[in-house]
Structure formats: C-alpha cells, structure tokens
Amino acid sequence: MCCKLPRWRLVRIVCVVALFFMPGNETLASDDLREQVLTILAALDDQTLPVASQLALYSDDIVLLAPDAPAVRGTEALRAHLTAFAGNTGLTIRHELRHLDITADVVIAEGGVIGEVASQDDAPPYRFATHNLIVFKRHSDDSLTIWKVIYNAAPLPANSDDD
C-alpha cells in the first residue's frame, strides 16, 4: 500500500466520490441545510433530550457503526442503544462540524465530538474525542434525518486543552 489513511477518512473519500459521480447528483450549496445539520448536532449534544425526541432525528433505516460494538440497525435497535445511555448525567459531549458535502440526495458531515464521562469515584473524568462521518438523508421537503453514522473514539490526554 502506497499510503495509509485512517479508516474513517477512507470511508468518507469513497462515499463522496461515489455520490459525486452518481447521475443527477450535482453538488449543491445551501446555508439552510448547513443550519439544519448544526441544529441536529446540537440536539445530539443535549443529554436531557428524551429518547423519543432523539429517535425523531434518525431515519427508520439508520445504521450506526461504533468502534468495538455490533452495528446498530433500525429504529428499535437504536432505541435500545439510546436507552442504555439515557439519564447519564455524567456524560458531556460537544459535536463539531469540520466539513459538509451536499448533494441532491444526501448531506455528508465530517466532524467529531469532544466529551467526557464523570467518574463515579474521586478519579478524574474520562475525556475522549471522536472522528465522525454522518450521512443525512435528504427528504423531498429538504428536511434531514440521520441515516448512517460511523465513528471512532480515543481518550484525550489528561492535559489536553480541547475544552
């Protein structure tokens, strides 16, 4: 292999190239779609949002690929996944949007999350960062729902200033 790319970067490149060359999928610029993505990401950051409200952000055929975990496919599997984290007041996350590709059918967001999980004892919180690729399904009314998610996670160094 001539070069090594992180898996999430390679997946993003393949998705963007494939979508770009599909017939009828001209790249479109839209501030409204960007604002919708930012609104959805902000909702995901809200750890007080009820599971039912979270589910409304996702397509029925959602696929979520998390590191070291089986794929989450469909609404019921996502409900179980979200319920497992519901009420975790020790979890704080902040989504960041780094790049957005908009086509006629989907919006692809590359970004990440900075977060921490509070410790149950006197230990310092576990701090982490992710790289995310989120594909939003674009509906006929230009509304968006989360369709595909892939991410990886790694702990942040204890002295990191990524707050």
Complete DSSP assignment for 100-112 = EEE-SSEEEEEEE
Taking the C-alpha atoms of residue 114 and residue 93, their distance in angstroms, rounded to an integer, is: 6
Of the listed ranges 65-79, 116-130, 146-160, the one predicted with least confidence: 146-160
State which amino acid sits at residue 136. F
Which pLDDT score is estimated for 98?
A: 94
CA distance 4 to 86: 37
Q: Residue 117 is which amino acid?
A: V
Predicted confidence at residue 161, as pLDDT, reads 54
- Residue pLDDT, tens place only, 64-106: 998 888 999 999 999 999 998 776 668 899 999 999 999 889 9
Q: Is the pLDDT reported for residue 44 higher than 70?
A: yes
The C-alpha angle with vertex 129 and arms to 153 and 48, in degrees rounded to 5, equals 100
63 in Cβ contact with 72 (< 8 Å): yes
Q: Rounded CA gap, 109 and 40, in Å?
A: 11
**Residue 54: count of CB within 10 angstroms of its CB:** 20
Long-range contacts of 4-12 (CB under 8 A, 24+ apart): 6/131, 6/152, 7/152, 8/131, 8/132, 8/133, 8/150, 8/151, 8/152, 9/131, 11/133, 11/150, 12/108, 12/110, 12/133
Supply the pTM of this predicted model.
0.77
Residue linked to tokens 């998705």: 15
Q: What SS3 state is found at 151?
A: strand
Mean pLDDT value across residues 4-32: 57
Confidence (pLDDT) at 27: 42
Residue 24 reports pLDDT greater than 60: no
The pLDDT value recorded for residue 125 is 87
Higher pLDDT, 153 or 26: 153
Q: Following DSSP, what letter does each residue of 16-37 receive, concatenated?
A: HHHHHTSTT------HHHHHHH
> Can you give the pLDDT at residue 12?
66
